[in-house]
Structure 1
């Protein structure tokens, strides 16, 4: 089944996420969203790119893919990750500053297929603090960070 990438509004993408995502709710905001549809126009998946949740990464000009959700259509997730990467690069984000996270228990096969690079395990845990109570609607297990491209290697003697 041939698929095509199309833009989609955040409201429609969030409705799809609310209906189909295994463990996340709708996204609060976004920079841009994409969808994949078949030749009949049937929606098979969405992807949402946004500001990073980390203040430090946001300050440093990163773009975070915060939701990718499909109905299980073959190669759908890889197609969405690839299109989000291309759109981010077209908007001026260096590939190594386009990131996403998966649960450590997830394989990341769709990300690898789309050319993303495993950046290793990160924290995880709860956002809830005694002085800042929060609910944890999403899983709190360790996460794996992925980059849409490798971090450039600084060459010896190169200007910083």
Structure 2
């Protein structure tokens, strides 16, 4: 997520994307944060941590080579929005 720094912009966008995805029929949405990031903007809009992903040597695989951009060997948390109450 990238914003111009407007206060609460990330929370607003995460909430809006989940609302739009549900309206389009999606039942699941995921995003990741890196270890060390608080995830406050996700918690503020009702997302929860559902998995912890261990560090990896990088994103490159023989079937899909990738250039390392400095995100290798960083653990991640997978987040999903809480299901809407029906």
Could you say which TM-score interval applies, normalised by the shorter chain?
0.7 to 0.9
Does 2:9 align with 1:79? no
CA deviations 1:42-98 (Å, max 9, x no partner) are xxxxxxxxxxxxxxxxxxxxxxxxxx211221111000000000001001111xx11
Match of 2:30 in 1: 99
Task: Give the C-alpha shift of residue 105 in structure 1.
Answer: 1.1
TM-score (norm 1): 0.46
Task: Give the C-alpha shift of residue 138 in structure 1.
Answer: 4.9
User: Which protein is richer in strand relative to its size?
Assistant: 1
Determine which structure has greater relative contact order: mean sequence separation of CA pairs < 8 Å that are 6+ residues apart, divided by chain length: 2
Match of 2:59 in 1: 127
TM-score (norm 2): 0.81
Q: Which runs of 4+ in 1 moved over 4 A?
A: none
Task: Give the C-alpha shift of residue 124 in structure 1.
Answer: 4.1
Q: Which ranges of structure 2 fall in alignment gaps of 5 or more residues?
A: none
Root-mean-square deviation (CA), in Å? 1.7
How many aligned residue pairs are there? Answer: 80
Alpha carbons 1:104, 1:121 under 8 Å: kept: no
Q: Provide the C-alpha distance between the structure 2 equivalents of 1:78 and 1:134, rounded to a whole number of angstroms.
A: 30
Match of 2:45 in 1: 114
